[in-house]
Amino acid sequence: MLIAAYVLYFKQIFPGLRSFCVASSIAMAVVYLLQITWFVAWATLDEKRIREKRDGILPCLTLETWERERDERGWLKIAFGKVAVIQKTLVFKV
């Protein structure tokens, strides 16, 4: 959406603003494409590591007895629950 706004401002009369809009739209498009490709690549490598039962910190180590964590309330859910409680306090209310 922001890229489209910069592309629309490309029609400006001012050359400085025009070059800024072109450079910004190209930079944002490149960053977007890099984020998409890097995330998919690293997620694929991580799934391969999990399937091969390798350690998360030292992937050169193979674990014999390893299973995925089956906990319903993982550490991430607990952390986001605590953040939600903090945000509901009077400090964050508008």
pTM: 0.46
- Asked whether 51 and 64 are in contact (CB, 8 A), the reply is no
The answer to whether 20 touches 46, Cβ cutoff 8 Å, is: no
Distance CA 29, CA 44 (A): 23
- pLDDT tens digit sequence for 26-76: 888 899 999 889 988 999 998 998 888 888 788 888 888 766 666 566 777
User: pLDDT tens-digit profile of 9-29?
Assistant: 666 677 787 788 788 888 888
Q: What local confidence, expressed as pLDDT, does residue 68 receive?
A: 63
CB neighbour list of residue 68: distance below 8 Å, 6 or more residues apart: 50
pLDDT number for residue 75: 76
- For residue 91, pLDDT over 80 is answered with no
51: amino acid identity, one letter: R
In our burial notation (b when 16+ CB lie closer than 10 A, e otherwise), range 6-22 reads: beebeeeeeeeeeeebe
